[in-house]
Amino acid sequence: MSEQPTAARRTVIVTGGSRGIGRESARRLAADGHAVVVNYAGNRAAAEATVAAITEAGGTAVAFRADVADEVAVSALFDAAEEAFGGVDVLVHAAGVMSVTPMVDTELDALDRMHRTNIRGTFVVDQQAARRLRNGGAIVNISSSVLGLAFPGYTAYAAGKGAVEAMTLILARELRGRDITVNAVAPGPTVTDLFLEGKDEETLARMATQAPLERLGRPEDIAEVVSFLAGPARWVNGQVLRANGGII
């Protein structure tokens, strides 16, 4: 295992880094001074746009395609990060898919797709991170506050995020002695393409009033928490931070 890198620069892999919370987290971490590997599943143009935004702002980033549920592809992702930057210090696992349908109407193919990406994908990516992060590193998984909010239609998605939180808490304990923190961020309603899909203006307005701050979350709100857990928060470990503006 490599020695801990200097605080001035760490290498970060952000899965799902081409859009939404993953994209904003990649941009924030690059602005913090870290080298970032932007992982994407299929939208190469969006990933390259994220990299371009980072480099234009003076940061360092590269893009790499990998299906997070494919262990060979994820191993290659870590190989590429190590080859480009000498090692990996932080994993931000933001890749995920969502289908909002009542349980009685949910197609099992949709359930399987969500579970493959959201559960197997988290297991595969976190497993590789546990094997290869340098000491002093951090793993940050993205969960969801929907576990506590229990919105109708989110049964399958929430079940997957429950698994993400279970893996997060247990892995933190399994890495005893490694000086690697493992936490999860659980956003509330946040304005991303994934969240907005299928919602009308009335629904969005109603959801915006749920938080005492009376607005929907923004990706940069979540990226701020990710930045904290990825860097200075060395005494926060095995926790789920509910970044939802105070809804629950």
CA pair distance 10, 235, nearest whole angstrom: 18
Q: Identify which of 129, 101, 106, 140 has the alpha carbon closest to the alpha carbon of residue 17.
A: 140
pLDDT band at 3 (very low <50, low <70, confident <90, very high): very low
Of 64, 78, 154, 157, catalytic: 157
Per-chain mean pLDDT for the chain: 93
Position 5 scores a pLDDT of: 44
Position 8 scores a pLDDT of: 53
Residue 4, pLDDT above cutoff 60? no
CA pair distance 90, 70, nearest whole angstrom: 20
179: Cβ contacts below 8 Å, ≥ 6 apart: 4, 135, 136, 137
pTM over 0.75: yes
Tokens (6 digits) for 63: 């893009």
Sheet holding 181-185, edge to edge: 60-65, 35-40, 11-15, 88-93, 133-142, 181-185, 240-241
Residue 7, pLDDT above cutoff 70? no
Amino acid at 129: A
Catalytic residue at 154?
A: no
Cα angle at 147 between 140 and 152, to 5 degrees? 140
84-110: pLDDT as tens digits = 999 999 999 999 999 889 999 999 999
Complete domains list, the chain, with CATH: 11-241 (3.40.50.720)
154-213: pLDDT as tens digits = 999 999 999 999 999 999 999 999 999 999 999 988 888 777 777 788 888 888 888 899
